[in-house]
Structure 1
Amino acid sequence: MRHVLRPNHGNLALRLSWRVSLLVLITLFLTALIGFRLPLWVVLGISIIVGVGTFLFIRWIVARRIARLQTKLAKIGEDDATPSTNTPAPLRDELDELNELAIEANQRILYQMQERERVEHYRREFLGNVSHELKTPIFAIQGFAETLLDGALEDQRVRRAFVKKVLRNATRLGNLAEDLASVARIEMGELSMVLKPFNLDELIEEVSESLESLAADRNVTIRSAVPSGLPPVIADRSRISQVLSNLIDNGIKYGRDGGLVEIIARPVPDGSVKISVVDDGIGIALEHIPRLTERFFRVEPSRSSKLGGTGLGLAIVKHILGAHNSQLMIESLLESGSTFGFTLPTADA
């Protein structure tokens, strides 16, 4: 059980004042014993006056400030770490310094409480999103399997279509599990990085070829524009491959029928290379751009679910680029396409 402090006003002053009064009384009696005779009422009067004066002095100088300190500590003990609105007074002595330390501790606790609430809110939201993302393909697989068992197995055309849908949802589950594992590794600081020089044009060609089948299904063309003589860049090749795959994949999924996704690489004056993935798709409203790299954020949830996205791709891209001291730059307008870009240092820089 937590012990909660309760302010006690004046106790210190009272205890000190009667001790001082007693000390004065003893001193006067001793003085009388060695020859200085004073009437008893004078001795008692002086003792009382000194005691009352001591009480008022200590209460004014010490006890009030200790009481304020007690009040602050009591609020902290009750989880009432409210921010201080008082202007800090000049430090006069150790008690003022102690009060300032209490105020600082109060503010630190307030920040920690707010951070704890933010993390708890994020945790609940994250678990809710994961649960939703898992249930959608699981329920789809369950529904298709039950339909097949109820008699659709006899119809070859229906059977083949349903098995394809089961496979698509199973693939979606696998992608979600892989992306969640990547997010976990990133958050735990276990994102391994091997920075070596490599040719960017070769990597762009490899990633483009791996996505040609998806682009053909969507009737989207992939094209690269990399100048000859582009210097090698220094980065983790496999991680940059993951970044390009995510960006090109998004350009294909959200592109128009007969559209184009272009990967452009150009040297920039600071000695680095800027890589941009440009599409002529549906575009993104300006108010949504700041949230694009949030986990599970989707501009159009229903469309994204149909396209099989996990909602984690751009969050992973952001963290991978952050590990390379780079950042994702986004430009987009509704109905005018989007550009996702980032920079990498060259081996010559």
Structure 2
Amino acid sequence: MKKISAKNLRKSFSLLISVFTIAVIAYFDLKTGERIAFSSLYLLPLIYLTWEWGIKTSVIFAVLCSFLRFSLDKSTIIFTDNYGIPYFNFIIKLSAFTSVSYLVYLLKKLILREKALSRLNSEMISAISHEFNNLLTGIHLSSTLLRDEEGEKLTREREKLYRILDQNYTVMMQNIKVFLNKARLESGKLKLSLEETEIRRIINHTLEMLAPLTFEKNLTMIKNFPDSILLISCDPDAISMVLSNLISNAIKYSPNGGEIILSISEVSEKEVEISVKDNGIGIARNDLGKIFSGFYRTAEGSKQAKGFGIGLKVSKELLALHGSNLEVDSEKGKGSRFYFKLPKH
């Protein structure tokens, strides 16, 4: 026996529902006559049919609904002055029904086109990011090998050049990861893998990765961690991405010689709060609602450091998948504190 696909089953169901709805509307239309106008309600099944079956089926049913209304007019209304009124009503109703059906058809085409373009865009970003990732990894490995070969012969000037390479590699890898996660989020391909995780390990690993940037600005990293081990339930890669975004932002917008405070605290028996606080440029109140929108940067932030302005949006969406929320306390010129909560394991 041939198996019926879910799509065909849904379409068949939509046809039955539409026919039943039209019959119900026609029944009440017949019973109430001119006292209550039910004509506009025929649009509901027509819109449904257009969405599921397309414009051709919808036009056929538009003609059917118009003819049905015409028959009701002929049977319930006595037109003593002008017998052409039912025919005029038929033309008006048919025009209205077909016009709405066509508009819904165009709307669906636009939505599907937008989805296709968005999917193509995500796939292109993902492919390009992977290529850049491979190239950067090769460059970084070559740089590391050259540095190791020089050994004790390494001069101060060349050491500075290698540090610049490390810094640029760190920044570029950070940007690539952000774009990759953005593409996965938009395409729906990002799936969380929750597991028992020691949050301090993720933070320490992130700090090691961002060490070249911290060293360049002579920043002090202060860790306010509890003595006991705190296990949380999360996707380690996703939370690592979130922390990497928050800490790298804190580094970018902190002054040379500034300090960044990383805190872990138990806010309840079931939740742990993780926060990243800096003493940098801060965020103006009217910008606080915009920084999570994507590709948005404040005027002060654009002057302070380069970037794309999507890291916070990606971080917020990754946390939303965990059932959490990225929040911020900030004041212009007085630094920022970003924080979120995760469940204990």
- When normalised by structure 1's length, the TM-score is 0.56
CA distance in 2, matches of 1:200, 1:161: 33
- CA-to-partner distance for each residue in 1:139-197, whole Å, 9 max, x for gaps? xxxxxxxxxxxxxxxxxx99999998788767755554443222111212221322111
Aligned mate of 1:332, from 330, 333, 342: 330
What pairs up with 1:93-132 in 2 under 5 angstroms? none
> For residue 280 of structure 2, what is the aligned residue in structure 1?
281
Matching of residues 144-293 of structure 1 within 5 Å: 175-229=174-228, 231-269=230-268, 271-293=270-292
Distance 2:157 2:224 in 1: 44
Deviations 1:59-110 (A, max 9, x none): 66x5565444224235436x6x5xxxxxxxxxxxxxxxxxxxxxxxx6xx79
Partner of residue 344, structure 1: 342
Conserved? CA contact 1:256–1:281, under 8 Å: yes
Which residue does 1:298 correspond to in 2?
297
Q: Classify 1:110/1:340 alpha carbon distance in 2 versus 1 (closer, same or farther; 3 Å).
A: farther
**1:291 is paired with a residue of what secondary structure?**
coil
Alpha carbons of 1:119 and 1:246: their partners in 2 closer, same or farther (altered >3 Å)? same
Computed over aligned residues only, the root mean square deviation of the Cα atoms, in angstroms, reads 4.8
Q: Label 1:227 to 1:297 Cα distance change in 2 as closer, same or farther (>3 A).
A: same
Contact kept, 8 Å, 1:226 with 1:265, in 2: the verdict is yes
Instruction: Tell me the secondary structure at the aligned position of residue 288 of structure 2.
Output: helix
TM-superposition CA deviations, 1:219-269 (whole Å, max 9, x none)? 221111122235311001122111111101111110122221111111123
2:321 to 317, 320, 323: 323
Is the contact made by 2:195 and 2:233 (CA closer than 8 Å) also made in structure 1? yes
Q: CA 1:269–1:12 in structure 2 vs 1: closer, same or farther (change >3 Å)?
A: closer
By how many angstroms is 1:273 displaced?
Answer: 0.8
Q: Distance in 2 between matches of 1:259 and 1:342?
A: 23
Match of 1:29 in 2: none
1:205, CA displacement in angstroms? 2.6
Counterpart AA for 2:266 = P
In the alignment, structure 1 residue 76 sits paired with structure 2 residue 100: yes
Structure 2: distance between partners of 1:58 and 1:216: 90
**Quick check: 1:230–1:267 contact (8 Å CA) kept in 2?**
no
Contact (CA 8 Å) 2:274, 2:341: kept in 1 or not? Answer: yes
Quote the Cα distance in structure 2 between the aligned partners of 1:159 and 1:201: 34
Aligned residues: 252
Kindly indicate whether the alpha-carbon contact (under 8 Å) linking 1:204 and 1:224 is maintained by their aligned counterparts in 2: no
Question: Higher Cα Rg: structure 1 or 2?
Answer: 1
SS of 2:247's partner is helix
Residue aligned with 1:181, SS: helix
Q: Which runs of 5+ in 1 are unaligned?
A: 21-51, 82-105, 127-156
C-alpha spacing 1:329/1:112, structure 2 compared with 1 (3 Å):
farther
Residue 329 of structure 2: SS of its match in structure 1?
strand
Unaligned runs of 5+ in 2: 1-54, 123-155
- Paired-residue identity, %: 26
Quote the residue 2:127 is aligned against: none
Segment drifting more, 218-227 vs 264-273: 264-273
In 1, the alpha carbon distance for the partners of 2:247 and 2:165 equals 25
Q: Which moved more, 1:62-71 or 1:251-260?
A: 62-71
Residue aligned with 1:192, SS: coil
Deviation of 1:321 (Å): 0.7
Give the whole-Å Cα distance in 2 for the aligned partners of 1:116 and 1:68. Answer: 30
Residue 195 of structure 2 contacts residue 234 of structure 2 at CA under 8 Å; is this kept in 1? yes
Distance 1:58 1:263, change over 3 A: farther
Matches of residues 125-140 of structure 1 in structure 2 within 5 Å?
none
